[in-house]
């Protein structure tokens, strides 16, 4: 349920942005067809804030790119438990992206603050 709401929300933003680029601002309602099309290569965000990853569990489709952004005053890293991906140290506002091609569950943590754990579930 939560995920469905987020997808619709994203769809709305994308449509609104598109119209803006075309020079006419219209608060267009998201079309279901467009939402389905966007879902495949939807960029997905994880925020690092208050020493935690949010969302803690992120469900995505294979082929999606996930971008982590550090919103803390303290540096963090994004490191896969199984060594699938590893960011450099991210200072405040720095980002790290990784594209998940294969389905599976990818647990990860911050190597500076290992109590910070989360996972990406790729379908």
Partner 1 sequence: MVQHTCSAALLYEGKEFAMKNETRDEIKFDHNGDGIDRRGFLKCMAWAGTGTLCVMKGGVLNSYSLSALSKLDPAAAMGELSFVQISDSHMGFNKPANPDVIGTLKAAITKINALPGNPEFLLHTGDITHLAKPEEFDNVQQILKEAKVKEAFYVPGEHDVASDEGKEYLERYGKGTKGAGWHSFDKNGVHFIGLVNVVDLKAGGLGTLGHEQLEWLEDDLKGKKSSTPIVVFAHIPLWSVYPQWGWGTEDSAQALSYLKKFGSVTVLNGHIHQTMQKIEGNVTFHTAASTAFPQPAPGTADSPGPMKVPAEQLRSALGITSVNFVRGQKALAVVDSNLSE
Among the listed ranges 21-29, 30-38, 88-96, 98-106, the one in contact with partner 1 (CB under 8 A) is 88-96
Among the listed ranges 15-23, 26-34, 35-43, 68-76, the one in contact with partner 1 (CB under 8 A) is 68-76
Q: By CB under 8 A, is residue 99 in contact with partner 1?
A: no
In the complex with partner 1, the residue whose CB is nearer, 19 or 111, is 111
DSSP secondary structure letters along 29-88: PPPHHHHHHHHHT--EEEEEETTEEESSEEEE-TTEEEEEEE-SSS-B--EETTSS-B--
Binding residue for partner 1, selected from 20, 89, 103, 123, defined by CB under 8 A: 89
Cis peptide before 55 (omega within 30 of 0): yes
Are the C-beta atoms of 110 and 83 separated by less than 8 Å? no
Q: By CB under 8 A, is residue 56 in contact with partner 1?
A: no
Q: By CB under 8 A, is residue 121 in contact with partner 1?
A: no
Element (H, E) at 99: strand 95-100
Beta strand 64-70 with 44-49: parallel, antiparallel or unpaired?
parallel
Q: By CB under 8 A, is residue 91 in contact with partner 1?
A: yes
Binding site for partner 1 (CB under 8 A): 50-52, 72-75, 77, 79, 81, 88-89, 91-92, 107-109, 111-115, 117
């Amino acid at each position: 349920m939560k995920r469905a709401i987020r997808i619709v929300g994203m769809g709305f933003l994308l449509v609104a942005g598109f119209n803006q680029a075309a020079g006419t601002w219209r608060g267009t309602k998201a079309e279901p067809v467009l939402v389905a099309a966007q879902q495949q290569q939807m960029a997905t965000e994880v925020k690092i804030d208050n020493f935690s990853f949010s969302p803690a569990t992120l469900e995505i489709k294979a082929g999606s790119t996930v971008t982590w952004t550090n919103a803390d005053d303290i540096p963090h890293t994004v490191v896969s438990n199984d060594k699938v991906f590893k960011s450099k140290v991210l200072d405040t506002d720095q980002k790290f992206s990784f594209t998940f091609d294969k389905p599976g569950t990818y647990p990860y943590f911050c190597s500076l603050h290992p109590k910070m754990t989360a996972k990406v579930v790729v379908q």
